Amino acid sequence: MVNIFNSRAKRPSHYAYAVVTGAASGIGRSFALELAKRGSAVVCADMNLPAAEETAAQIIESGGNAYPVHCDVGEATQVEQLAHQSESLLGHPVTLVINNAGVGLGGKFDELTLEDWKWCMDVNLWGVIHGCHYFVPGFKQQGGGAIINVASAASFTAAPEMSAYNVTKAGVRALSETLYAELRKDNIRVNVLCPTLVPTNIIKDGRIPARYSKLADNMLMNYAMTTSDAVAKLTLNRLDKGELYTTPQVDAKLFWLMKRAAPNLYADMLGLSYKFIG
């Protein structure tokens, strides 16, 4: 088998054989479609198989190669199976994994049940840990690879009534930062995506309190400063450049700067604004 990491291909070799989790909707679907446009064969993994099949069908209709696979990323054994199955479907070891599958959870800290926490942690944090755990050894073996982990601006904004979601995304960012440094010598690139609002199904399909779920969905669908397609393109371009962070929108960049430049002031402003509007 040709080791593409030693070949002189013009296209960055990390695109060639990709796996995207949560590929049935939103940002994951956009990643899958954009990768196919860039010449990748794509495994479209999701726990919603019929919708993953739609993503794959769109790619195949445009002349690309795509394979829908059922996978619950919260279950370690299913992600292990995904890693094996992907290699046989693609006919080549995987070169890029995008750990994107995620769920939305909102509500005051004392309203959340431990079951809510577990659900959110299993998908948003363990899903990403499982993805890295089962794909990194293959990347090392073949001499290279790439990982995109989808976190969120929530990983640093720490907005009230999003405690569990914030914790999962901060974990994804910390894991990605660690792996970026640790895997560099193995020719494995890592990028972590940290957007604010992107119009997708995350609110509709999430566990969001009824008192503001309509408002939140309205903001997401009508006031986002970007689209899932634009986010996917930008993130792949950042990965090409070997960059660690993708913070697509101006508000994400601003929050990131404020939090780092004046952390106490930032926390006080957050608390004060929540006191008045919360």
Ligand X SMILES: NC(=O)c1ccc[n+]([C@@H]2O[C@H](COP(=O)([O-])OP(=O)(O)OC[C@H]3O[C@@H](n4cnc5c(N)ncnc54)[C@H](O)[C@@H]3O)[C@@H](O)[C@H]2O)c1
Residues that bind ligand X (CB under 6 A): 21-22, 24-28, 46-48, 71-74, 100-103, 123, 150, 152, 195, 197-198, 200-202, 205, 220
Minimal distance in Å, beta carbon 210 to ligand X? Answer: 18
Q: What's the CA gap between 187 and 37, in Å, rounded? A: 24
DSSP 154: H
Write the CA distances from 46 to 52, 137, 161, integer angstroms.
6, 22, 27
Looking at the Cβ atoms of 4 and 232, the one nearer to ligand X is 232
Catalytic annotation present for 165? yes
- Token pair of 121, please? 């942690």
Q: Which residues pair with 21 in a beta bridge?
A: 45
- Which position among 15, 165, 245, 266 bears the catalytic label? 165
Minimal distance in Å, beta carbon 278 to ligand X? Answer: 20
Is the CB of residue 162 less than 8 Å from the CB of residue 112? no
Looking at the Cβ atoms of 16 and 148, the one nearer to ligand X is 148
Looking at the Cβ atoms of 41 and 252, the one nearer to ligand X is 252
Q: Comparing C-alpha atoms, which of 196, 225, 199, 194 is closest to residue 30?
A: 199
- Token pair of 53, please? 């099949």
DSSP 186: G
Minimal distance in Å, beta carbon 65 to ligand X? Answer: 20
Minimal distance in Å, beta carbon 261 to ligand X? Answer: 22
Looking at the Cβ atoms of 26 and 106, the one nearer to ligand X is 26
Contacting residues for 87 by C-beta, under 8 A, at least 6 apart:
93, 94, 138
Annotated catalytic residues are 165
